[in-house]
Amino acid sequence: MGMTITEKILAAHAGVERVGPGELINVKVDIALGNDITAPIAIEEFEKTGVEKVFDRDRIILVPDHFTPNKDIKSAQQSIKLRRFAKRYNITHYFEVGRMGIEHVLLPEKGLVLPGDVIIGADSHTCTYGALGAFSTGVGSTDLCATMITGETWFKVPESIKFIFYGKLQKWVTGKDLILYTIGKIGVDGALYKAMEFTGEIVDNLSMDARFTMANMAIEAGAKNGIFLPDETTLKYIKERRKRDYKLYNSDKDAMYSDIYEFDCNSIEPQIAFPHLPANTRPISEVDEIPIDQVVIGSCTNGRFSDLEEAASVLEGKKVNKNVRLIIIPATQRVYNDAMKAGLLEIFLEAEACISTPTCGPCLGGHMGILGEGERAVSTTNRNFVGRMGHPKSEIYLTNPAVAAASAIKGRIAGPEEVIR
């Protein structure tokens, strides 16, 4: 019996020939990641142990990105803990403000995560790196602490679900729409503690950015990880970025899956996830006039250059509705710089949008765009739970960047074709 890509990666890092779903295994970790919310807890626990060194200063990555630049004294104290820990243990990959970015965009951009890796991060959207053909998943802060000491962690091997996407994508349909459509079909617990393996002719032709978006939101279906089979697109992406060796894995033809879903993409429209679940999706054609107060374009889900480029193609030559606040957040310094060189920032400013330095900010209700009571936001982020972006009586509608931009112009949820004639 063959193995899936997820099982092969875990077996290799456990030092065994094969593993199967349900097995408890101990694995060596390639990368351990923490941010300004989760790493301070791990650091506190680390200090309690009395251990005097980390397992590998090159394999631990610390990125202050959630409440940075610091919004208040408490967030400043959180960042100080990261800064001091990084200095004390000479951590190679600590990213300070001005050099940082949203962690799940920054690490692939810097070539720090690679195909075949096992990556753990004290952040649920660590599953993003599965786009590269890696096993990556979120863990708790105490698990991060243990890994920073030992370089190892344990897993129960997940079952795998295969998703096959075929057909042809309609204009304005992106990776964000494919993953929202998928979550809408299977539910927020439809892949609970399972590996979501994305395949098919549509997937084969997706850009890396679209793959990152889909893998990023695997957790919104309850998945342990999301993963793509590495191909020429993957190799082209990592060619100029990689800092070390890597290994490619693929699923065997006779690998076992707990479920297989096939989606005909010919009829999939841009998707809107209504409050208060990512699974509460509707096609744009079925959305009535819903006035909005704010639009956010950014996050680890859709803050990459191609996302800003897509938004700019809709916004160019137009103005944001007078009743709407449009906040645009490039995910990293490089994305910001590339957007500036391409003239995208000028388009945003002329449209009367606000442009932020890289930060998670409003995605988790941190800062840079908190919603008040009764306010509605269209957002390219990944979650729309009650109170996620501010007041518990506010509402969040998840979309792709083009729909978000069109909505900012119209002052209500709208498709790009309504503003581009």
**How deeply is 27 buried, as exposed, middle or buried, from its count of CB atoms within 10 A (0-12, 13-18, 19+)?**
buried
How do residues 231-242 score in pLDDT, each as one tens digit? 999 999 999 899
Strand ranges (E), 180-293: 194-199, 225-228, 259-264, 271-273, 281-283
Mean pLDDT of 165-186: 97
Inform me whether the pLDDT recorded for 421 exceeds 80. no
How do residues 112-132 score in pLDDT, each as one tens digit? 999 999 999 999 999 999 999
pTM of the model: 0.95
State both tokens at 384.
């729309």
How do residues 319-370 score in pLDDT, each as one tens digit? 999 999 999 999 999 999 999 999 999 999 999 999 999 999 999 998 999 9
In order of start, what are the domains of the chain with their CATH numbers? 5-263 (3.30.499.10), 271-418 (3.30.499.10)
For 161, phi then psi, to 5°, come to: -115, 135
Single-letter code of the amino acid located at 278? P
Q: Which residues pair with 31 in a beta bridge?
A: 119
Question: Would strands 325-328 and 281-283 be described as parallel, antiparallel, or unpaired?
Answer: unpaired
Question: Would strands 225-228 and 259-264 be described as parallel, antiparallel, or unpaired?
Answer: unpaired
State both tokens at 185.
């079909």
Mean pLDDT of 152-174: 97
Instruction: Tell me the helices (H) and strands (E) count for the chain, helix number first.
Output: 14, 18
Cα–Cα distance measured from residue 249 to residue 254, given in angstroms and rounded to the nearest whole number: 15
Determine the pLDDT at residue 1. 82
pLDDT band at 272 (very low <50, low <70, confident <90, very high): very high
Mean pLDDT of 259-284: 96
